[in-house]
Amino acid sequence: MDLNWPPCPRPLLGVCTLLSLATAALLAHVLLHDFAVVPRELRDFSQVPKEMYQARQQGASGPGPQPGPGIAPTQCDVPPNSRFDCAPDKAITREQCEARGCCYMPARWRPRGSQMGQPWCFFPPSYPSYKLGNLTTTETGYTATLTRDTPTFFPKDILTLQLDVLVETQSRLHFTIRDPSSKRYEVPLETPRVRSRAPSTLYSVEFSEEPFGVVVRRKPDGRVVLNTTVAPLFFADQFLQLSTSLPSPYITGLAEHLGPLMLSTNWTKITLWNRDIAPTSDVNLYGSHPFYLVLEDGGLAHGVFLLNSNAMDVVLQPSPALSWRSTGGILDVYVLLGPEPKSVVRQYLDIVGYPFMPPYWGLGFHLCRWGYSSTAITRQVVENMTRAHFPLDVQWNDLDYMDARRDFTFNTDGFGDFPAMVQELHRGGRRYVMIVDPAISSAGPPGSYRPYDEGLRRGVFITNETGQPLIGKVWPGPTAFPDFTNPEALDWWQDMVSEFHAQVPFDGMWIDMNEPSNFVKGSVDGCPNSDLENPPYVPGVVGGTLRAATICASSHQLLSTHYNLHNLYGLTEALASHRALVKARGTRPFVISRSTFAGHGRYAGHWTGDVWSSWEQLSSSVPEILLFNLLGVPLVGADVCGFLGNTSEELCVRWTQLGAFYPFMRNHNDLHSLPQEPYRFSDSAQRAMRDALALRYALLPYLYTLFHRAHAGGETVARPLFLEFPEDPHTWTVDRQLLWGEALLITPVLEPGKVEVTGYFPAGTWYNLQVVPVGTFGSLPPPPPAPFKSAIHSEGQWVMLPAPLDTINLHLRAGRIIPLQGPGLTTTESRRQPMALAVALTGSGEARGELFWDDGESLGVLECGAYTQVVFLARNNTVVNELLHVTSEGAGLQLRRVTILGVAAAPQQVVSNGVPVSNFTYSPDTQTLAVPVSLVMGEQFVISWS
């Protein structure tokens, strides 16, 4: 997904159909007459909730008057779970409800565990909606006109709409609903375009004439995945609503929120409006991703993406059903048919873009604290980490380095030798990242601060209603906000980054406060009284207004108003920073951002913001990491040990053990909290943390290979169990464990005082990685002490695992091979270490794995072929490698040990490339064979045992 500057109307792309152009007239007749109420096949289709169908049928029967404003409805026998809210904008009385033409039935109680409760005022089945007409078949799908005779209770209804349905690929349907008479704001992201309909599809599309609706069914069983006839369509200037039934209550997505991976359909509202707020349940957080994925019976799944960046609510209800409520733009909907969850994720990323490939060093351990107030203190931290033998790849600084908290400056009191410190880090094989906020200080006299002076001169700032830069307040005081939708602002930002990099050779950018955050409401001068500031529908935003903790919705950016563009602010800054780093450094960029939108992973990673040092937030970090991987942002992590408040030793150990398996691992905490660097704790706690970090560094070649697969193939890095085992419904709600790729299952301890942990193990054999030598590649470690098991042979079951404070449970899935490397104190060091393979055999003695390797930071390695890619295969008591692509980068990696798990009997002989190996070791207790070798990854080898 590319950002498109400036935007232009997207031409129709293309949609799929089952009928040829020659049958268009007949098709229109069938669609407009046989499906007048609901598509014909829905009438006896069991997947649609019976109560929903009955409600719709009641609305269709009888000659009673169509309700509308001022007419009380006569048919209100709608089951409670299928009631759609007729008062989304405010609480209203019975009289006001009936004046809207709606039904009023107070609920006696709120369902237990629900956030909202069922609506008291709800639409009758016959509430007027749009009517479909002029349905025409096109080269790419269909087009039609939608007309509404009766206005709704929202101002400025658009009574005539255009529907375009594009059958884009075998698994992707795309439809848009627009105002044909007036150009409305559309999200300025370039998405795939097709010129003809897909010749065959996994779905069929049907239409209801009146009330208008789109129904999408999965082939061949006819399961309905989308049915928008369940509630009336709204399309007013500042209120758009589209509802659909869901085939299952197992739904995930709709980030960013704090809570379980699976959302509750028990009357839940999710608000998308990017906001600076410490993660809390049931509030709008830093990012907006209007995409959901639903798990269906039989291991199938589908996804829906609404490409809309306006403030919105998404309401889930128990029927189950979902309603999108947006405050502007158009309805631009993608339906993705999978058929399994992995394919849904890839199809979503086909639209928004595959993740960027991070530099190898970005996967090491990062350390930061707000409060490293000088280069001397920062240097001491690095020295302490080295002395305590903790890996450290990237040292960070928070606001402390700045002069008066202004971007692209450093203070001469504590950071006078800032450039020298960064150069020292580089000489030690480390990297450096510092915080950069988008808001630019406007307080100084002209000529005193180049970023503001240049920005003014080049017209890069967001403006108020008078055309002057809007002034808010952030860390440096009065500030202006760059408009990253303006190409001139991208060039200005690039210049500022390059000029500062010429002084301080930093390696990456930490972009914070980019919702954008503002310490005053709107601006220092307030905001005008307008429809944009006070829209007729305000989603459930914290603070009750769109300007709370951010800038005025009515402020002006090049492409549109901030009202439309607010949720894109972090994404556009991430793109600008990604671009600027490429220019300044000429190597792979590294950007970590707080605010995100769909497609963010193409340019940057994400950290989960100002989390508390609490067991609850440790636990909730797991579903958040999993969710962002599903959304194409695999480089994600929470602040290890927590940011706000004081951690405890036990919490910090357990968080470090889990954090070792965040794709992005950084320990960071607040100025007002006790320091929490690993060396601050007791010897036993330090040992446990050191072991966790050694595990991470040993596994980095595997992690890097996963990132390559994400970047090149749209896969996930950390993934929920349901992604690998969708046919096992027990996996669907598991969100206290995570997988790395398809091979490693991590089962962390997430509660205090526990020395055991329960984890779900899908069917198959899972080998305890404790039987593999990780820290060194010497002989086999002793068998794990009882009650540890060397392998779990699961039929799909929950297993209690021992988990003393020094242990994180890590299991390797049978049938997989992973590369390992000797750990070091930096990736510069570890990348020079010899390698090993862990081979986990299935019952039939087979396994497979892969290694991707390059120089770790160059741009365009795939395009110019500067990489090595090797596949490892085990079968028939043999391990071999297949060289897919070999260059000098990676060809010489030394392989020193192969550990084979699941060898049932002691071998009599082991041979490596035809040469007998005499010093192999075998453990009958763990059925593990360890083979020392002296091989090269980039040359073919054969290891066999008999």
Give the dihedral sign, CA 921/924/925/930: positive
Nearest to 591 by CA among 580, 583, 709: 580
Tell me the CA distances in angstroms from 158 to 146, 148, 722, one per residue in order: 10, 8, 42
Contact between 162 and 184 under an 8 Å Cβ cutoff? The reply is: no
Question: What are residue 164's DSSP bridge partners?
Answer: 143, 176
The DSSP-derived string for 238-251 is: TEEEEEEE-S-S-E
CA–CA dist 623, 641 (Å, integer): 17
Give the dihedral sign, CA 183/185/190/191: negative
Contact between 152 and 186 under an 8 Å Cβ cutoff? The reply is: no
Is residue 515 flagged as an active site residue?
yes
Nearest to 809 by CA among 673, 706, 660, 670: 660
Q: How many CB atoms lie within 10 A of CB 940?
A: 13
CA–CA dist 154, 537 (Å, integer): 9
- For residue 802 the two structure tokens come to 């021992």
- For residue 376 the two structure tokens come to 């001397």
Dihedral, 678, 681, 684, 685 alpha carbons, nearest 10? -50
Q: How many CB atoms lie within 10 A of CB 800?
A: 10
Task: For residue 556, give the amino acid letter.
Answer: H
The per-residue b/e assignment along 445-481, b for 16 or more CB within 10 angstroms, e otherwise, is eeeebebbeebbeeebbbbbeeeebbbbbbbbbbbbb
Nearest to 234 by CA among 313, 136, 140: 313
Provide the edge-to-edge strand list for the sheet that holds 239-245: 234-236, 239-245, 321-326, 312-317, 268-272
Q: Cα angle at 268 between 263 and 270, to 5 degrees?
A: 80
Contact between 278 and 611 under an 8 Å Cβ cutoff? The reply is: yes
CA–CA dist 213, 305 (Å, integer): 17
Active-site hit among 276, 296, 407, 515: 515
Nearest to 472 by CA among 485, 461, 487, 486: 461
Contact between 904 and 925 under an 8 Å Cβ cutoff? The reply is: no
Beta-sheet pairing, 431-436 with 365-367: unpaired
Return the beta strands (E) in 41-193 as ranges. 103-104, 121-122, 131-137, 141-147, 160-167, 172-178, 189-190
CA–CA dist 296, 339 (Å, integer): 10
Is residue 398 flagged as an active site residue?
no
Helix (H) or strand (E) holding 218: strand 213-218
User: SS3 for 419?
Assistant: helix
Number of continuous H segments (helices) and E segments (strands) in the chain: 17, 53
Q: Which residues contact 44 (CB under 8 A, 6 or more apart)?
A: none
The DSSP-derived string for 384-405 is: HHHHTT----EEEE-GGGSBTT
Q: What is the DSSP letter of 640?
A: E
- For residue 751, whether the previous peptide bond is cis, meaning omega lies within 30 degrees of 0, is no
CA–CA dist 691, 741 (Å, integer): 21
CA–CA dist 87, 94 (Å, integer): 11
Helix (H) or strand (E) holding 879: strand 878-885
Q: What is the DSSP letter of 469?
A: B
Active-site hit among 98, 168, 512, 677: 512
Catalytic residue annotation = 512, 515
